[in-house]
Amino acid sequence: MKRNFDWEDLRLFLAVAKAGGLAGAADKTGVSAATLGRRVASLERDLNVRLVEREARGYQLTTAGRELMLHLEDMDQAARSIAAWQESGRARRRIRISAGEWTTRLLLDNIGGFWTSASDWVPEFLADPRVRDIARRRIDIGVRNRRPSQEWLAGQK
């Protein structure tokens, strides 16, 4: 039995289980009925258990399918809670800006020109003359007094 399941397969199975078949779940999720059928079959293989009985009028959940559905409803509620948290604006992206001390002071003195508290991001300033690695996400923006030596970095006066 597989230990790490595809969360999307689980979410799509829950949609199929709630809708009672592929057509209703396809309308709700925007995923084609054929893809939903493949994803449910894939989940059954991963779990090594039959979750649905395929009938002429849709899917009938097996006992295992009903049990899984109960677990997935908790997972779905947690996912909705996370989505609500993210949409609330409390999860704003932090943008790390690296510059020398004097440049950082200049940026802070003029912060109102490029950022407000209503922005969907939050600046994080690093007053540091060392060159930080953008490729490894140590910073997002580096302000320096010379052009970058790496050809894949953009520079602007």
Crossing angle of helices 63-87 and 7-19, rounded to 10°: 110
pLDDT averaged over every residue in the chain: 86
pLDDT of residue 88: 75
Structural domain spans, the chain: 7-87, 93-142
Nearest CA among 23, 20, 16 for reference residue 41:
16
**Could you tell me which residue, 110 or 145, shows the higher pLDDT?**
110
Res 30: pLDDT: 93
Instruction: Return the CA Rg of the chain.
Output: 25
What pLDDT score was predicted for residue 128? 76
Average pLDDT over residues 135-144: 80
pLDDT at 1: 53
Report how many helices (DSSP H) and strands (DSSP E) the chain contains, helices first.
Answer: 5, 5
pLDDT digits (tens, 9 = 90+) for 59-114: 889 999 999 999 999 888 998 888 888 777 667 788 999 888 898 999 999 999 99
- Give the pLDDT of residue 3: 65
Note the pTM of the prediction, 2 decimals: 0.57
Least confident of 24-28, 62-66, 128-132, 142-146: 128-132
User: Distance between CA atoms of 62 and 100, rounded to whole angstroms?
Assistant: 64
CA 137 to CA 149: how far, in whole Å?
17
Report the greatest alpha carbon distance in the chain: 73
The CATH number fitting domain 7-87, selected from 1.10.3720.10, 1.10.10.10, 3.40.50.2000, 3.30.565.10: 1.10.10.10
The more confidently predicted of residues 156 and 94 is 94
